Amino acid sequence: MSRADLLVDLIKAGTRGDRGTFVRLVESMAAEERAKNHALLADRLIQGLNLNGNGRKPLGLAVPDEKALDLLHEIVPRRALDSLVLPPVVRMACDELVEEHHRADLLRTYNLEPRHRVLLAGPPGNGKTTLAEALADALMVPLFVVRYESVIGSFLGETSQRLRRVFEHIASRRCVLFFDEFDTLGKERGDTHETGEIKRVVSTLLMQIDALPSHAVTVVASNHPELLDRAVWRRFQLRLELPPPTRSMLEEWFRRFQDRVGEPLGWSPRALAMRLKGLSFAEAEQFGEDVLRRHVLALPDSNLKRIVETRLEAWQQRFTVRPDEPTRMTERIQDS
């Protein structure tokens, strides 16, 4: 939205007493100024929201403060969407989301907002955290990861209060806010084993997610989506599954890995995908790093084909400890 249109809409919202729209527009202005490194002006805009004519704070909005940074870990994104091997439906959804945010001005002329709430589900090690970072990179914004060890408190009401501080801090920033292992906070409220405190936390969390403006993209990841509260699901406009990689996806991963190395591995990507079928993307990354370490240490006389062969032998002797599949990797590979 252009600055002129933003100011006109701001005046209209103030004239008709539309408090929710007024706050959202001011937060958008603050986010734009913060993106231009005008932090002082952005803070003054947010402070203006909190004050009435007497200089008091009756509206319950908190100015973003430095203490909120203790609850978040800021990451400068370094992974690109193009570097990831994703299911086609997931890649298409991510491209659409990025386009909506880059063309948000056009959408808002039709009273539409870009989608900004994303739920990622799937077993561990298949790219949920990496995808959140890649989305932040594509949107050209920082990634803020919620630090559960700081957010979750032992006293009644402490967790909900800290969550409010997180969302108030994020509201005036263009960013991606990432909750890993979201089932830690978003558990089903109907679970009889959960305490009243957890239910209050879930209620607070859902209200804060609803109130967050669209320039702040919320991405949550869960290894156990079946544990999430039913009300959580409808909050998220995009619900994407990241399953374990297929053989063809692993083959594509090894093809890209070979391109990064800059020379033939001595084994075709197809052969490696067949030998290592059943690996997650995280395990494939570990295997690649293992090969690279041995390659660098063997320079200038490195034999990549032999290194890959010995790494395959070593990896086939590894144990894979998983609750649902406590078996040796050798057995997994031989059975496949």
| Phi-psi sector, 127: left (phi>0), alpha (psi -120 to 50), beta | left
Query: Percentages helix, strand, coil for the chain, rounded to the nearest 5?
Result: 55, 10, 35
Residue 97 has pLDDT above 90, yes or no: yes
Q: What's the pLDDT band for 95 if we cut at 50, 70, 90?
A: very high
CA–CA dist 43, 46 (Å, integer):
5
The first and second tokens of residue 4, run together, are: 């002129």
Rounded to 5 degrees, φ, ψ at 112 are -120, 150
Mean local confidence (pLDDT), 3-31? 72
CA–CA dist 211, 199 (Å, integer):
19
Residue 190 has pLDDT above 60, yes or no: no
Convert the pLDDT of each residue in 123-143 to its tens digit.
999 999 999 999 999 999 999
Residue 327 has pLDDT above 60, yes or no: no
Q: Are 140 and 36 in contact (CB under 8 A)?
A: no
CA–CA dist 117, 320 (Å, integer):
34
Q: What's the pLDDT band for 151 if we cut at 50, 70, 90?
A: confident
Q: Are 166 and 129 in contact (CB under 8 A)?
A: no
CA–CA dist 196, 174 (Å, integer):
34
Identify the sign of the CA torsion 265, 266, 270, 275. negative
The pTM assigned to this predicted structure is 0.76
CA–CA dist 241, 250 (Å, integer):
17
Residue 279 has pLDDT above 70, yes or no: yes
Percentage with pLDDT > 70 across the chain: 78
3-state SS assignment for residue 267? coil
Q: DSSP letter string over 9-71? A: HHHHHHHTT-HHHHHHHHHHHHHHHHHTT-HHHHHHHHHHHH--TTS---S-PPPP-GGGGGG
User: The tokens 């803070």 sit on which residue?
Assistant: 43
What is the DSSP-derived secondary structure letter of residue 145?
E
Convert the pLDDT of each residue in 256-274 to its tens digit.
999 999 999 999 999 999 9
pLDDT value for 334:
43
Residue 333 has pLDDT above 90, yes or no: no
Q: Which among 217, 136, 149 is positioned nearest to 184, based on CA atoms?
A: 149
| Mean pLDDT over the full length of the chain | 82
pLDDT value for 62:
40
pLDDT value for 61:
40
Peptide bond into 88 cis (omega under 30): no
Q: What's the pLDDT band for 47 if we cut at 50, 70, 90?
A: low
